[in-house]
Every structure is written in C-alpha cells, then in structure tokens.
Amino acid sequence: MTSPFALPKQPPTPATEPRLDTSAALQTLDLSKDYGDGMGLVSELDLKIGQGELVMLVGPNGAGKSTLLGLCSGMLEPTNGWAFVAGHPSGTVEARAALSFLPDSPVLYDDLSLGEHIEYVARLHQTQEWEEYADDLVEMFGLADRVDDLPSRFSRGLKQKTGLILGLIRPFRLMLVDEPFVGLDTPGQETLVEILGDVVEQGATVVCSTHQLDLVPRATRCIGLQDGGLVYDGKVTAEKIRELVGGD
C-alpha cells in the first residue's frame, strides 16, 4: 500500500539523466498525459527546443497541442515524464519566472481596466521601465482608446488582444501561446506575427499552437501532433502545415 504521506517523485538532474540539457529553452523527457479516454498526449514525448526558436505547434483538433502546452507550463500534471523550462522542472518558481504562458482563453479580472491589468502584471513580475513598452503594445493592437475600459466587457477579439499584451508585458525567456490568432482581426494578426518575430530576434523562444500561414516565414521549426503523439518535427512549409491540420 502506498503511504498518503509519500514524497512526490523527484525530477531527474543532469547527474541522473544524461539526456537532460539545462541549456535548452524547453525540454520534455518521456512526457505523457493520458486522460483515460484516448485523448491527451498519450505517446511519451521527447523534445528539445533551443533558445531563439519560433516553433509552430500544429495538428488537428484533439491532437494533444493544448495538453502539451499545459504540461510544459505546469498547469497540468503529467501521467509520466517531465517538462523543463530553462533547465527547471515545469511548475517550479524558477520555471514560472522564465515562462510566459498565454492560454486560448485569457483570464481577466472583472473590475480592472485594461490599463490596470497591464500595470498589475508588469509590477507583479517586476518589469523594468514597462510604461513606454505598454503604450507601444496598446497602440500596435489598436486599443489606445480602450485603456480605461473593462476587458471583461470586450469582444472575444479584444480580449485576445488584451491577453497578448499581458503576456508580452512581463519578462520571459520562453513564451507558450495557444491559438492566439483565433478571433483576431486582420490588423491584429499582422501585428502579432510582427511581434512574435521581434521577440525571437531578441533571443526569447516562442512555441505557438497555430496553423496561421502568415507565421510560416518567421517560424524556424514545425512540430506536428496527431492522436496524442509526435508525427513531424522539422522544416516549416505551408504545404506541411496544411497536411498536418488535415488539408485546411
């Protein structure tokens, strides 16, 4: 019988796991999440993503993309294996400090304006000299006239823009983004492509779950999932993206 007071399984270290590369922006070792219904990330996954990569995570609905991002962010507990952010186990204080995670539905406070959201996140993460950058982001996403409004009353597209601004205003070494283009208007999509490219040029790593073809020229790598397992890891082309999402 397993004691209810048993210590949790300890993550591997470079001394105990030769495959662990602490210089990687993101690494998974034997990672899986089985919900019991055949969904999730059912095949154990080994991935290593270096600094300065812009990775498109692609696959049909139910392929395991959101599950993978949730595991790497520390929001989900794996069935097996580990995820590491900048060499630290996902979910730890060190990993969270290095990571900006943007889920597909941003979490917003009902009683804070857009400007108050931005200031709260910036100060929470001790962002230095954030005010000018915040003004630039708000202007780029076309929200300069909505700074005093409550995002809880925004349309889906405006909430999406708000979530992106909040994810970008904090410092990070790795950004995980889940379907950020859904709900964005064309100018918002173009702005996001530009910003993600700039983020990578500045040395950060981005893993973006999307099949947005406008991102292809900026992306350095494509990772394809299907039925909860890895089916592709390589060069990004529009043809490969269409193939991986089932001809869309």
- pLDDT number for residue 4: 56
Report the run of H or E that residue 164 belongs to, with start and end: helix 156-168
Give whole-number Cα distances, 98 to 84, 90, 102, in Å: 11, 10, 13
Q: What is the pLDDT of residue 14?
A: 87
Q: How far apart are the first and last CA of the chain?
A: 50
Q: How far is CA 143 from CA 46, 95, 130, 184, in A?
A: 40, 31, 17, 13
Which domains are seen in the chain, by residue range? 26-107+171-244 (3.40.50.300)
The first and second tokens of residue 110, run together, are 């009902």
Residue 6: what pLDDT?
A: 54
201 CB burial (10 A radius; 0-12, 13-18, 19+): exposed
Torsion 22-26-30-34 (CA) sign:
positive
What per-residue confidence (pLDDT) applies to 167?
Answer: 96
Radius of gyration of the CA atoms of the chain, in A: 18
pLDDT reported for residue 248: 47
pLDDT reported for residue 104: 87
Residue 214, phi-psi category: left (phi > 0), alpha (psi -120 to 50), beta (remainder): alpha
Ranges of the chain with pLDDT below 70: 1-8, 247-248
Q: What is the pLDDT of residue 8?
A: 60
